[in-house]
Amino acid sequence: MMMETPANGRPPGPRDDPWDMALQQFHLAAEHLRLKRGVREVLSHPQREFKVNFPVEMDDGSVRVFAGYRVLHSTVLGPTKGGLRYSPLVRISEVRALAMWMTWKCALTHLPYGGAKGGVACDPSLLSSGELERLTRRYATELAPLSGDRRDIPAPDVGTNAQVMAWFMDTYSMHHGFSVPSVVTGKPVSIGGSAGRQEATGRGVMITAREAAEVRGIAFVGSRVAVQGFGNVGSTAAHLMHAAGCRIVAVSDVRGGIYSPGGLDPAAVRRHIDATGSIEGFPGADAVSNAELLEVPCEFLVPAAIEGQITGANASRIRAQVIVEGANGPTTPDADRILDDRGILVVPDVVANAGGVIVSYFEWVQDLQSYFWSEEEINAHLERLMVHTFRRVLAFSREQHVSLRTGALIFAVKRVSDALLTRGVYP
């Protein structure tokens, strides 16, 4: 199997381990809250971890065994919510961290969910559609003891999409003998998905960037934007920021990126990818590596690929004024300290990319009620919640003299720990 290299071009070091990062961030918030030891202990462990090794018949008749995971970090505030990732880099430490970050994101945005995440170690670009479908259906079957619209509700993440969610939902429904659209979100609209879900995360990134521009006194129109990862989140953010008048100076995918100080048209980049299968070779732009893209001069840097990209090794060379974290965990704690010292504003993942889970929540509510809202209604509710969350975190962080990340986590951890203490320790 082809292995992807990390986008910043170097293997992750121990300090960049995602679970270690998530714990460091959590303990910082726990210190501020003077959280009781027992509560701290509970929240620094995932509640449930599931590892499965399952066979898939490949197109050539051979059988391969894949490793899949699902981690439920906390069910204190409700059923768990979080994406499914298909990537060669999937490992337990990554899934654990992503599950914990989902707990904080849901708590911060007042959604009635705990956090979860799942993944299969595979390279979906090397699988046929039939292989991907069989892998998804078998993985969904392996997760059956956990899944359910009142238990654990997956959504798309890196390497998965609405079609994967449709196979997951269909498999679950076949086993139950009736259709259960609410068991996943991010489905196609034709089978109970929500208008606006596909664009929701990128739309939220655009909204928080616009809010951050106001705070920083940056003219949003004409501002320069570099986007790492031109997938669902990154490409939507690029399209919407371009439509809002920003200049998209650089974009990338897993293979590398392009840079054009005069600005790129994201729609033309999309057409080029559709025609050639890659961002590489886009006419009129210079080739850059993913590592170089992070360091181009711009007002907004939007990491929208994977975690651990902005580290202690490159944070001093970042030239953006604001980092808007479309990805989960793109900035390590070492880098956070450097960026803070340099006065670079970091809009953390739990705020910047919350649009996805917010509209997933809208989708779940619509499915449970079998009553669907218009795209205008969805986008208006999303806008209101994103702006409210950003401003609340900003005000609280200023009051506490902490970064937006620590402020957001203090807020979220407090909500979860209060609920934990109210519910008590069973038995």
Name the strands in the sheet holding 322-324, side by side, starting at the edge strand that comes first in the sequence.
286-288, 256-264, 247-253, 224-228, 300-303, 322-324, 345-347
CA pair distance 94, 118, nearest whole angstrom: 9
117 carries an active-site annotation: yes
Binding of ligand NAD by 254 (CB under 6 A): yes
Report, in Å, the least distance between residue 46 CB and ligand NAD: 17
Which amino acid is residue 381, in one-letter code? Answer: H
List binders of ligand NAD among 115-174 (CB under 6 A): 156-159
Report, in Å, the least distance between residue 413 CB and ligand NAD: 19
Torsion of CA 348, 351, 356, 361, to 10 degrees: 140
CA pair distance 141, 174, nearest whole angstrom: 10
CA pair distance 205, 330, nearest whole angstrom: 14
Binding of ligand NAD by 253 (CB under 6 A): yes
With contact defined as beta carbons under 8 Å apart, do 290 and 228 qualify? yes
- Give me Rg for the CA atoms of the chain: 20
Q: Using CB under 6 A, which of 23, 212, 306, 394 touches ligand NAD?
A: 306
Query: What is the β-pairing status of strands 80-87 and 114-121?
Result: parallel
Report, in Å, the least distance between residue 74 CB and ligand NAD: 18
From 65-73, 169-177, 223-231, 396-404, span contacting ligand NAD (CB under 6 A): 223-231
Report, in Å, the least distance between residue 160 CB and ligand NAD: 7
Q: What is the DSSP string of 186-216?
A: S--GGGTPPTTHHHHHHHHHHHHHHHHHHHH
- Count of residues near ligand NAD by CB under 6 A: 25
Sign of the CA dihedral 180, 423, 112, 325? negative
Which amino acid is residue 228, in one-letter code? Answer: Q
Site string for ligand NAD, 343-372 (x = CB under 6 A): ----------x--x----------------
Binding of ligand NAD by 305 (CB under 6 A): yes
Please list the residues that pair with 156 across neighbouring strands: 84
Minimum CB distance to ligand NAD smaller for 165 or for 394: 165
Among the listed residues 51, 117, 187, 414, the single catalytic one is 117
Report, in Å, the least distance between residue 143 CB and ligand NAD: 18
From 3-11, 107-115, 187-195, 410-418, span contacting ligand NAD (CB under 6 A): 3-11
Site string for ligand NAD, 199-218 (x = CB under 6 A): --x-----------------
Contacts with 111 (C-beta within 8 Å, 6 or more apart), sequence order: 78, 81, 357, 358, 361
Report, in Å, the least distance between residue 43 CB and ligand NAD: 21
Minimum CB distance to ligand NAD smaller for 200 or for 218: 200
Binding of ligand NAD by 331 (CB under 6 A): no
Binding of ligand NAD by 12 (CB under 6 A): no
Please list the residues that pair with 303 across neighbouring strands: 228
Task: Give the position of tokens 């038995």.
Answer: 427
- From first CA to last CA, the distance across the chain in angstroms is 47
Minimum CB distance to ligand NAD smaller for 171 or for 252: 252
What residues act catalytically? 117
Interacting residues toward ligand NAD by CB under 6 A: 4, 6-7, 156-159, 201, 229-234, 253-254, 290, 304-306, 326-328, 353, 356
